[in-house]
Amino acid sequence: MDKVYNFVVDKQGTRLDRYVVERCPQLSRTQAQRLIVGGNVKVNDRVAKAGLKLNTGDRVNIIIPCTPPSPLAPEAIPLNIVYEDNDLLVIDKPAGLAIHPAPGHPSHTLVNAILSYVPDLPDSNGSLRPGIVHRLDKDTSGVMVVAKNSQAQLNLIDQFKARSVVKAYLVLVKGHLTPEDGAIEALIGRSLRNRKRMAVVAEGREARTQYHVVKYIGNYTLLEVRPETGRTHQIRVHLSAIGYPVVGDTMYGVKSAYLSRQFLHACRLGFTLPSSGEYVEFKSELPPDLEQALKDIG
């Protein structure tokens, strides 16, 4: 059964999301913000925004919907943990592991593995993506960060939104890409021909990808790529759009006899620790299948 709370504000100037957490301490700030966005919090009988500054005498109505049991189940899947503190985990994700449950893979995901390791992840009862602040495609390997509490989750999400997080990938493309350093700027949105694919489209969202040539191998180029924005499939779409498709990518790139998945590896991730503000950077070496592909091609 839904829980309903009614309050009259007695202190001027408090943000609505903070007021909700103060009055309902069982909620994290993320949960409070989701309630507000979902229209479950009203001020003077009107839906309001999370950042609204409250006035003395305002009437705040909060509805906390009854939460159905979470479909997520902990699974003892091995994790390669690069770093851990009280706020977060940095994980070296293998290729073939989806981040969170979705149609086609309802279980055996990174979220299931993390729930086994950290049972009280933020929003673990109300979200299919507890602790997740960014994602890697199922067939992309490499380093990523997961929040262990709500405060860290909000902090990391803000860093990604501010584009202050350093993300670097090693990518193999077909052809000799020149110049050796450059940037791709093209709007990305849903393909007009196939809604399951992304594409460079006139009505898309801003997207920018920097690249640096690491070396040329035969008729291929090994790149270090840094996406400045975080659009779905951004690297794969941008490189395909300029005529240098990702090797092994069956959706946007070119099939390869050397690989059973796309040559895309998150090799470097840098951000500031939520607890101290210290900048840290983590690296991941190429996994054996990608190393072997380079040897075979070379």
Annotated catalytic sites, by residue? 137
Query: Quick check: 63 and 2 in contact, CB under 8 A?
Result: yes
Which conformational region is residue 280 in: left (phi greater than 0), alpha (psi within -120 to 50 degrees), or beta? beta
19 contacts 6 by C-beta, under 8 angstroms = no
Angle of helix 29-37 relative to helix 150-161, nearest 10 degrees, comes to: 60
Task: Give the β-pairing of 141-147 and 264-272.
Answer: parallel
- Alpha carbon distances (Å) from 159 to 34, 131, 177, 178, 228: 19, 15, 31, 32, 12
Measuring CA to CA, how many Å separate 228 from each of 137, 160, 210, 264? 17, 10, 7, 16
Cβ contacts of 75 within 8 Å, gap of 6 or more: 107, 108, 112, 113, 115, 116
